[in-house]
Amino acid sequence: QVQLVESGGGVVPPGRSLRLSCIASEFTFSSCGMHWVRQSPGKGLEWVAIISKDGNIKNYADSVKGRFTISRDNSKNTLYLQMNSLRPEDAAVYFCARGHINSWDSEGYYYTDVWGRGTTVAVSS
Partner 1 sequence: QSGLTQPPSASGTPGQRVTISCSGSNSNIENNLVYWYQHLPGTAPKLLIYSNNQRPSGVPDRFSGSKSGASASLAISGLRSEDEAGYFCAAWDDSLSGPVFGGGTKLTVL
Q: In what order do the strands lie in the sheet with 68-73?
A: 3-7, 18-25, 78-83, 68-73
Cβ neighbours for 2, distance < 8 A, ≥ 6 positions apart: 25, 26, 27, 98, 114
Q: How far is the CB of 15 from partner 1 (least distance, A)?
A: 23
Q: Is 105 helix (H, G, I), strand (E, B) or coil?
A: strand
Footprint on this chain of partner 1 (rule: CB under 8 A): 4, 35, 37, 43-47, 50, 59, 61-63, 95, 97, 100, 102, 104, 110-118
Which CB sits closer to partner 1, 81 or 118?
118
Nearer to partner 1 by Cβ, of 12 and 38: the residue is 38
Q: How far is the CB of 27 from partner 1 (least distance, A)?
A: 14
Helix, strand or coil for residue 40?
coil
Instruction: Give me the least distance between CB of 115 and partner 1, in Å please.
Output: 4
Say how far apart CA 95 and CA 6 lie, in whole Å: 7
**Distance of alpha carbon 112 from alpha carbon 125, whole angstroms:** 34
33 vs 83, which CB is nearer to partner 1? 33
Which CB atom, from 15 or from 102, has the smaller least distance to partner 1?
Answer: 102
Name the minimum Å distance from CB 82 to partner 1: 18
